[in-house]
């Protein structure tokens, strides 16, 4: 796998080209009307409120809050979800140590269209299902000149939505603006120029490779003073205490 520095440079170029294309071509055609002035204003504001429901796994009160900015046509994002996320979920998320939030940060127009299709119903469960299928099959549409047709073929063939629903997602200008508004804010505020990018308790995590369990464990140790305590450990101790009192009562 290429280093993140190379990915950063490559994706930064893509974002610049996409931004130029976006403002020169897409905005005038009402593809997604978010003005540069609005982007500048967003950079100085608090986190913009989204009308889309959050995509979250884990407990809201977990000591480590991680936000992943991902693009549905990003190979490194897919690798992380396939290889590292299941291990992170088992070791940290299920134990109440980490809360993971996913935010779309499309790196080109095809990724934006994929996100719009996934969010067509504005429902988290539907989004997770559709985005998962599109990510799994990203090589069938990413980088293709007819990506819109290919995206709709994938979701209809998998019986996730009808052709009409897919077209509605693609033509939803307000939805596209919503997705890009959040993405551009993150780029301005956190200087994100690659994917995947991770915030840990509100700070950008710099990593050369994919985020791993070791990275999260080190972060948790810093937060918790060198040791890691989990909800499951606390519950286990409490269960032992209750059993002791039950035995005394007998």
Report in angstroms the alpha-carbon separations of 24 from 32, 140, 172. 12, 28, 19
- pLDDT band for 11, please (50, 70, 90 cuts): low
Q: Which domains are delineated in the chain? A: 4-249 (3.40.30.10)
Q: Where are the alpha helices (DSSP H) in the chain?
A: 4-21, 36-44, 75-79, 85-88, 109-118, 124-136, 147-157, 163-170, 173-190, 213-223, 231-249
CB 8 within 8 A of CB 193: yes
The candidate with the shortest Cα–Cα distance to 59, out of 242, 214, 241, 235, is 235
For residue 34, pLDDT over 70 is answered with no
Tens digit of each residue's pLDDT (9 = 90 or more) over 67-97: 999 999 999 999 999 999 999 999 999 999 9
CB atoms within 10 A of CB 155: 24
pTM for this predicted structure? 0.77
Report in angstroms the alpha-carbon separations of 154 from 32, 127, 147, 150, 235. 24, 14, 10, 6, 44
Pair of tokens at residue 26: 């897409």
CA-CA-CA-CA torsion sign (12, 78, 198, 174): positive
Q: How far apart are CA 30 and CA 42, in angstroms?
A: 20
Task: Report pLDDT for 241.
Answer: 44
Pair of tokens at residue 83: 């290889």
């Amino acid at each position: 796998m290429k280093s993140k520095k190379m990915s950063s440079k490559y994706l930064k170029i893509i974002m610049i080209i996409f931004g130029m294309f976006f403002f020169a071509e897409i905005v005038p055609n009402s593809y997604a009307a978010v003005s540069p002035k609005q982007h500048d204003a967003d950079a100085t504001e608090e986190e913009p409120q989204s009308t889309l429901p959050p995509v979250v796994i884990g407990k809201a009160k977990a000591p480590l809050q991680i936000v992943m900015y991902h693009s549905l046509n990003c190979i490194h994002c897919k690798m992380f979800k396939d290889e590292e996320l299941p291990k992170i979920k088992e070791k940290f998320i299920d134990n109440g140590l980490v809360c993971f939030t996913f935010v779309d940060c499309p790196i080109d127009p095809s990724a934006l269209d994929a996100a719009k299709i996934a969010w067509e119903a504005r429902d988290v469960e539907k989004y997770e299902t559709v985005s998962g299928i599109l990510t799994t099959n990203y090589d069938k549409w990413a980088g293709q000149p007819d990506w819109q047709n290919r995206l709709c073929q994938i979701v209809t063939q998998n019986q996730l939505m009808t052709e009409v629903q897919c077209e509605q997602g693609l033509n939803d200008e307000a939805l596209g603006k919503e997705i890009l508004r959040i993405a551009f804010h993150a780029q301005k505020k956190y200087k994100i120029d690659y994917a995947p990018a991770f915030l840990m308790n509100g700070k950008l995590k710099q990593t050369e490779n994919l985020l791993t369990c070791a990275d999260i464990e080190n972060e948790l140790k810093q937060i918790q003073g060198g040791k890691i305590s989990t909800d499951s450990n606390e519950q286990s101790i409490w269960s032992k205490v209750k059993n002791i009192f039950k035995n005394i009562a007998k």
